[in-house]
Structure 1
Amino acid sequence: MHASAPRAVPEYALQSIRKLIAEEGYRPGDVLPSQRDLAERLGVSRTSLREALSSLSALGVISVQPGKGVFVQAAAGQALAPMGFAWPFAEQVSAADTFQLRFALEGFACGLAAATLTAAQLDALQDNVEQMRLELRGGDFESASRLDFDFHRSILLASGNQAMCGIVTSSADIFLESQKLPFIRPERAMETWQEHRKILKALGRHASGPAQKAMQQHIRAAALRTGIAFVTLGD
């Protein structure tokens, strides 16, 4: 955390604030330095800092109280394992690395799919999204996560890139597990459906750029709902 740190990187700011809380012994109820001081200390923009604070607030790590300051709600690490978060593939690959790979691979694939998606493929995706809504309303998160996996796999297949499809097929258990993780926060489970609708809308317009962006935003948001932040180029 110094002046030469990368700028305008919300994930960097998020991780740095968590590190600050841990290393400087902040406890629940303690107030952090002002946002201006935090931005200067971390070497990030105020915009990046606000995005990081928003994510940390959603994860239950801090509470931003206008006019009063930023207060610690949970000891560092405590809020990063909601509902008993566990990653069974830790010896092979981290959850953060998995989400980072999906961000790059699936975002690009979604952009490709937007240009070539057939009417039948689009109808199948629409059916998937509607079925996910019903499963989530019924509280069946296991079925919803499988529909999530099928949604993403269908887009990869529609992209026509066999190499990318092969990566997902060979590591299907790992990819499926990453798609189960966001559902450990039931109160936010419908966000996955909402994000899928946004992706579907871009695909329906055959808009490659917006489709790629919508997919990448979805994967980043899904990771954050789990308590995972990862660095991407261009932040």
Structure 2
Amino acid sequence: MDGTGWRPVKRTRTFEDVLAQIERRIAEDGLTVGDRLPAERHLAEQLGVSRSSVREAMRVLETLGVVSSQAGRGPDAGAVLTSRPDSALSDLLRLHLGLTGLEMREVIDTRHMIEQWAAAHAATRAAAHAAAHAAAGGATVGAATTELAAALAGMDAAGSPEEFVEHDTAFHCAIADASGNRLVAAIMRSLRDSMRKYSVEAVRRLGDTSVLRADHVRILEAIDGGDPEEAARAVSEHLAHAYPTLFR
């Protein structure tokens, strides 16, 4: 721990780095459309990264139409290659590089607009999901709830502002995923490196992350409860807590 109570920073690879490694593996292994990639666990071992990093990279590739995820075990595990990744990754890289020079207000204003919409739609979809399962006589925990709860647990266990922000970003990307709009999800992931510096600064400035945690719990409960208006309001007030000078 340092004087602030945070542990020393442990660097983690960005999802762009993992994407580039996966692209190289596809090229080196001579994979073509229709071939199956190694299972998530095997990819993580081969690339020397965490399974969560591989999972996020694969989600981006699926959003870009490069792979199609299919459930399976053993030899049937792993995503199927649906197109060569070259152009898709180039498009993502261009978008990523184009965002790196943005000012904080531009990034946060964009987040505010996108995340309110995404949270509202995520809540609407959660309500429809719950209604469908209730009609079928069953109950289940939605994928959105699982992803958001996992990110929230990661924030609770974080030992540094950088680590906290890594899980915080995963939380907000999960909201975009839950909206059901693949372009919104791709834009949020492209924004993440532009957000990281400002997010770390916000966490350091606040010191105590309990307010942010309470905000995340509120967002999760609104989405899980199928309340789109409350979900959008919770996101807006959360960003105001994190960046008060921009929401005066």
Q: Into which bin does the TM-score normalised by the smaller protein fall?
A: 0.5 to 0.7
2:151 & 2:145 partners in 1: Cα distance? 10
Q: 1:92 to 1:197 in 2, by over 3 A?
A: same
8 Å CA contact 1:99–1:220 kept in 2: the answer is: no
Structure 2 match to 1:122: 145
Answer yes or no: is 1:169 the counterpart of 2:178. no
Query: Which one of 162, 174, 184 corresponds to residue 154 of structure 1?
Result: 174
Q: For structure 2, list consecutive stretches of 5 or more residues without a partner in the other structure.
A: 1-97, 130-141
Q: Match of 1:195?
A: 215
How do residues 34-183 of structure 1 correspond to structure 2 at under 5 angstroms? 92-117=101-126, 119-135=142-158, 139-183=159-203
Aligned mates of 1:202, 1:122 — CA distance in 2 = 11
Superposition deviation, residue 230 in structure 1: 4.3
Extract structure 1 runs of 4+ deviating beyond 6 A.
none
CA distance in 2, matches of 1:185, 1:127: 25
| Partner Cα distance (1:195, 1:161) in 2 | 23
Q: Structure 1-normalised TM-score?
A: 0.53
Work out whether residues 100 and 230 of structure 1, in 8 Å CA contact, stay in contact via their aligned partners in 2: no
Asked whether the 8 Å contact 1:145–1:180 carries over to 2, the reply is yes
The 1:223/1:120 distance shift into structure 2, 3 A limit, reads: same
In the alignment, residue 99 of structure 1 is paired with which amino acid? I
| Distance of 2:177 and 2:114 partners within structure 1 | 12
Distance 1:230 1:200, change over 3 A: same
Query: One-letter code of the match for 2:123?
Result: A
The residue number in structure 1 matching 2:34 is none
CA drift of 1:90 comes to 10
Q: Structure 2 length normalisation: TM-score?
A: 0.50
Structure 2 CA distance for partners of 1:110 and 1:91, relative to 1, 3 Å: closer
Percent same amino acid at aligned positions?
23
Identify the residue that residue 85 of structure 1 maps to in structure 2.
none
Question: Gaps (5+ residues) in structure 1?
Answer: 1-88
Matched AA of 1:194? A
